[in-house]
Amino acid sequence: MLTSEDGVTGGLAGKIAGKVKATAGTLLGNEELTREGNLQEAGADQEAVAAKARAEAEQAEQEAKLEAERRENALEAERLRTELSAEEREAQVAAQAEETEREAAAQAAEDKARAERERRAEEQRASAEAAGEQRRAEQDRETVASVATSQASIERRQAEEDRAAAEQKAAQLEQAADAAARRAQNIDPQES
């Protein structure tokens, strides 16, 4: 028989063990075992509730500590802000004024340098554009000359091909005339 001295008293295992004892006690007709199982099950439930309450209490305590630290940090920050003396504030204002003047001078120098860079870039663009126009004009002249040379070459080749074709045609006609003369000679051998 299982008892609370067997070491199974709390948590899910304790609840299950209690349920088993209660069921076994009911089935066996053992009221003491049934009562012990019910008590163990109730104890496990109470232990779970207590553990949950402890966890919630710990969380609430941690949150309270964090809130207290936040408030303390905020008070310290406020105290430090109020400790700044008028002299320190004046020094800050003077330093800010000097920084503003330095920034304005730097911006003016940057603007001047940018304007100079833009002027030089514009001059370079104009120069490059003029050089590009000159190159295009030269290329156009070269293209026209190349096309004229190519055209003349094509016309020479065509003339040579035409002459060769005419010579071939003449040779064919001469061969045809020779063949006709041979046929005529064969038809009437006496006429020659």
- Where does the pLDDT of residue 14 fall: very low under 50, low under 70, confident under 90, or very high at 90 and above? confident
Q: Look at residue 6 in the predicted model and tell me its pLDDT.
A: 45
3 and 65 in a single domain? The answer is yes
- Where does the pLDDT of residue 191 fall: very low under 50, low under 70, confident under 90, or very high at 90 and above? low
pLDDT exceeds 90 at position 111: yes
68 and 111 in a single domain? The answer is no
Q: Look at residue 8 in the predicted model and tell me its pLDDT.
A: 47
Which residue's structure tokens are 């402890």?
A: 54
Mean pLDDT, the chain, integer:
86
Q: Look at residue 104 in the predicted model and tell me its pLDDT.
A: 92
Domain assignment present for residue 89? The answer is no
Which residue's structure tokens are 């603007």?
A: 111
Spatial separation of the C-alpha atoms in residues 177 and 184, rounded to whole Å? 10
pLDDT digits (tens, 9 = 90+) for 39-89: 988 888 788 788 888 889 899 889 988 898 989 888 887 887 777 665 777
**Which domain, by its residues, includes 130?**
99-180
Domain assignment present for residue 12? The answer is yes
Q: Look at residue 99 in the predicted model and tell me its pLDDT.
A: 92
**Backbone CA torsion sign across 157, 163, 169, 174:** negative
Number of other residues whose CB lies within 10 A of the CB of residue 16:
14
119 and 176 in a single domain? The answer is yes
37 and 68 in a single domain? The answer is yes
Total of domains in the chain: 2
Do residues 64 and 34 make contact, with C-beta atoms less than 8 angstroms apart?
Answer: no
39 and 109 in a single domain? The answer is no
> Cα-atom radius of gyration of the chain, to the nearest Å?
58
10 and 73 in a single domain? The answer is yes
111 and 171 in a single domain? The answer is yes
Do residues 56 and 37 make contact, with C-beta atoms less than 8 angstroms apart?
Answer: no
**What is the chain's length?**
192
160 and 130 in a single domain? The answer is yes
Domain assignment present for residue 189? The answer is no
